Amino acid sequence: MRQRCELCEALGADSSRGHHKLIGVAVGPRDALLCADHALFALDSDVSSFQELREVYEFVASVEPSADDPATAASVYRGPARSGSHGASRSVL
């Protein structure tokens, strides 16, 4: 039987599409088997339980736009707005 990422499973995400390697990560008092993305998130989130990890992940996912969102991806590739004379509007008196 193939094991799945515990956070993917808890969130109802389909982690069966690829053959993800699982990483054991200490989450509070126990170790959890997580996919690479969720393992990095767990290490960065400084939580004390698996339930808290799930709550933090759900909160962040609800607040931050997804990198898969075309509008978000376009703003990343456009780069910062430049201030200069090229394309500047003229003042009419």
For residue 29, tell me if it sits in a domain: yes
**What is the Cα–Cα distance from 73 to 70, expressed in whole angstroms?**
5
pLDDT digits (tens, 9 = 90+) for 68-93: 655 544 554 555 555 555 555 555 55
Residue 12 has pLDDT above 80, yes or no: yes
Q: Which residues lie below 8 Å from residue 74, measured CB to CB, with a gap of 6+?
A: none
For residue 1, tell me if it sits in a domain: no
Overall domain count for the chain: 1
pLDDT digits (tens, 9 = 90+) for 20-66: 789 999 999 999 999 998 999 999 998 999 999 999 999 988 887 76
For residue 15, tell me if it sits in a domain: yes
**What is the Cα–Cα distance from 50 to 18, expressed in whole angstroms?**
24
For residue 89, tell me if it sits in a domain: no
